[in-house]
């Protein structure tokens, strides 16, 4: 059983170790794209977004997501880790610390999920294919792999210089490293394709580089797909094997378990209502007309259930000693308590805290009312104008 402190029963509210860090409780705000970095600039709105979560009681808030290179942005409104963003990110981490929480930087490379038109650069993928923006991607070369691995190392060092306490490596949702793990997306026949060991080589090298760039005083975690949720994609048995590889490499302090594909099946991650009409309204013509045809296939509808990733994540508890972070539609304090009692070291919450940033503080004060998120998922299309809960009381965003 995974354990971080040898305790069979973990208290939600009390000091908890995450590698070299001590968190004030076991609830982490997971990464959700904030839509608040116009032209890649750290804005006051981005800082305020995370300060609300910090004041609301979460032990750590995760900034999502920080690209390690310009072509690795999802689009041009994403912060790139580097000299130009260090000062703004330092303002963010200082504000989060002053509000009583730690700050984690989710770092990554969008790969085939990148909007090549917005970025002004071809999207990259393990093998040539159509990417998220409808353009053909460019297959990554060995030189690209070496360059991007070094970009991760430098990006981790920049994040530490900017005051981040933890770094989360994005290995999910068919972003670049996740797409290398996928047998459906990775059709390579060289040293980075074919067997699972070969497909996992690039992600493992990146995690090692991030640990090297971060140093010993910062926690390093990874967000790993348990399954892509698409036929022929990366799935549970291979994911458990990759998790064992990452544990054996010894560079991670915890693993956060996720699922779904931003390329082919994003609703597998979210569950609940599929906001097709709201999403279509954000698209320009004629793409909007095309979405009316393919929308049901792209934004599938999955029934919502509390902690919907818990059952597959339990398989990792049995296979690993590495601390595990459970996420996936957690809205209730008793769900948090039962997850910790099973052996998960932390829980990560997103939509519940988007609607009620102070939910954790209320629970700590003794209230036990569940979060009021109704999983309508209409927050998803709001990423283009600043991610927000459309059902929330406006006063909660103050």
Sequential DSSP letters for 366-387: T--PPP------TTSGGGGT--
Structural domains in the chain, sorted by start = 13-261+309-361 (3.20.20.70)
Q: What's the pLDDT score for residue 281?
A: 78
Provide the 8-state DSSP code for 198: H
CA distance 327 to 310: 8
The share of the chain scoring above pLDDT 90, in percent, equals 78
Q: What's the pLDDT score for residue 9?
A: 55
CA distance 24 to 96: 14
Indicate the pairing of strand 13-18 with strand 21-25: antiparallel
What are the tokens at 360? 């954790």
User: Mean pLDDT over residues 329-355, rounded?
Assistant: 96
* 201 or 398, which is more confident: 201
Q: Is the pLDDT of residue 174 over 60?
A: yes
Q: What's the pLDDT score for residue 3?
A: 43
pLDDT band at 312 (very low <50, low <70, confident <90, very high): very high
User: Mean pLDDT over residues 324-347, rounded?
Assistant: 97
Q: Is the pTM of this model over 0.85?
A: yes
User: Mean pLDDT over residues 271-280, rounded?
Assistant: 83
- Are 162 and 104 contacting, i.e. CB atoms less than 8 angstroms apart? no
Comparing C-alpha atoms, which of 202, 173, 179, 206 is closest to residue 190? 202
Surface-to-core class of residue 149, CB atoms within 10 Å of its CB (0-12 exposed, 13-18 middle, 19+ buried) = middle
Comparing C-alpha atoms, which of 108, 33, 32, 51 is closest to residue 348? 32
CA distance 368 to 119: 45
Q: 106 by DSSP, 3-state: which? A: strand
Residue pointed to by tokens 């793409």: 287
Q: Is the pLDDT of residue 283 over 80?
A: no
> 292-308: per-residue pLDDT in tens?
667 777 888 898 999 99
User: Mean pLDDT over residues 299-320, rounded?
Assistant: 94
Q: What is the DSSP string of 206-275?
A: HHHHHHHHH-TTSEEEEEEEEE-SSTTS--HHHHHHHHHHHHHHT--SEEEEEE-BTTTBTHHHH-B---
What are the tokens at 10? 């973990």
**How many CB atoms sit inside 10 A of residue 355's CB?**
20
The share of the chain scoring above pLDDT 70, in percent, equals 94
CA distance 351 to 53: 12
Q: What's the pLDDT score for residue 377?
A: 87
Q: For 3-73, where are the E strands, in sequence order?
A: 13-18, 21-25, 27-29, 60-67
* 147 or 132, which is more confident: 147
> 240-253: per-residue pLDDT in tens?
999 999 999 999 99
> 25-72: per-residue pLDDT in tens?
999 999 999 999 999 999 999 999 999 999 999 999 999 989 999 999
What are the tokens at 206? 């990146």
Q: What's the pLDDT score for residue 299?
A: 85
pLDDT band at 2 (very low <50, low <70, confident <90, very high): very low
Q: Radius of gyration (Cα) for the chain, nearest Å? A: 19
User: Mean pLDDT over residues 339-350, rounded?
Assistant: 97
User: Mean pLDDT over residues 285-289, rounded?
Assistant: 63
> 75-109: per-residue pLDDT in tens?
999 999 999 999 999 999 999 999 999 999 999 99
CA distance 149 to 126: 14
* 201 or 129, which is more confident: 201
pLDDT band at 390 (very low <50, low <70, confident <90, very high): confident
Q: What's the pLDDT score for residue 121?
A: 94
Comparing C-alpha atoms, which of 100, 129, 98, 102 is closest to residue 114? 129
pLDDT band at 6 (very low <50, low <70, confident <90, very high): very low
What are the tokens at 232? 């022929």
Active site residues per annotation: 175
User: Mean pLDDT over residues 139-156, rounded?
Assistant: 98
Q: Is the pLDDT of residue 163 over 50?
A: yes
Q: What's the pLDDT score for residue 275?
A: 82
Q: Is the pLDDT of residue 187 over 90?
A: yes
């Amino acid at each position: 059983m995974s354990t971080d402190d040898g305790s069979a029963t973990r208290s939600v509210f009390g000091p908890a170790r995450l590698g070299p860090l001590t968190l004030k409780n076991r609830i982490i705000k997971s990464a959700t794209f904030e839509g608040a970095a116009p032209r890649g600039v750290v804005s006051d709105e981005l800082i305020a977004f995370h300060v609300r979560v910090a004041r609301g009681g979460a032990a750590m808030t995760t900034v999502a997501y920080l690209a390690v290179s310009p072509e690795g942005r999802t689009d041009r409104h994403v912060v790139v880790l580097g000299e130009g963003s260090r000062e703004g990110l330092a303002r963010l981490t200082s504000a989060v610390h002053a509000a009583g929480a730690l700050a984690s930087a989710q770092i990554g490379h969008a790969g085939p999920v990148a909007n090549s038109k917005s970025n002004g650069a071809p999207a990259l993928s393990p093998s040539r294919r159509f990417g998220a923006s409808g353009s053909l991607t460019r297959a990554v070369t060995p030189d690209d792999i070496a360059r991007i691995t070094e970009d991760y190392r430098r990006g981790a060092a920049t994040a530490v210089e900017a005051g981040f306490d933890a770094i989360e490596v994005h290995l999910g949702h068919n972003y670049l490293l996740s797409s290398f793990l996928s047998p459906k997306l990775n059709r390579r026949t060289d040293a980075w394709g074919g067997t699972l060991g070969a497909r996992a080589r690039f992600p493992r090298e990146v995690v090692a580089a991030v640990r090297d760039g971060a140093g010993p005083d910062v926690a390093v975690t990874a967000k790993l797909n348990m399954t892509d949720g698409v036929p022929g994609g990366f799935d549970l048995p291979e994911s458990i094997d990759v998790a064992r590889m990452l544990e054996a490499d010894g560079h991670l302090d915890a693993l956060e378990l996720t699922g779904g594909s931003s390329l082919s099946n994003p609703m597998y991650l979210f569950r609940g209502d599929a906001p097709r009409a709201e999403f279509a309204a954000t698209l320009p013509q004629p793409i909007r007309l095309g979405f009316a045809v393919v929308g049901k296939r792209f934004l599938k509808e999955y029934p919502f259930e509390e902690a919907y990733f818990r059952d597959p994540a339990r398989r990792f508890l049995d296979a690993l000693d590495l601390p595990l972070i459970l996420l996936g539609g957690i809205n209730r304090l008793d769900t948090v308590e039962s997850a910790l009692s099973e052996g998960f070291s932390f829980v990560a919450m997103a939509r519940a805290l988007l609607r009620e940033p102070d939910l954790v503080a209320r629970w700590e004060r003794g209230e036990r009312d569940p979060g009021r998120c109704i999983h309508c998922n209409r927050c998803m299309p709001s990423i283009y104008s600043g991610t927000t809960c459309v059902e929330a009381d406006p006063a909660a965003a103050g």
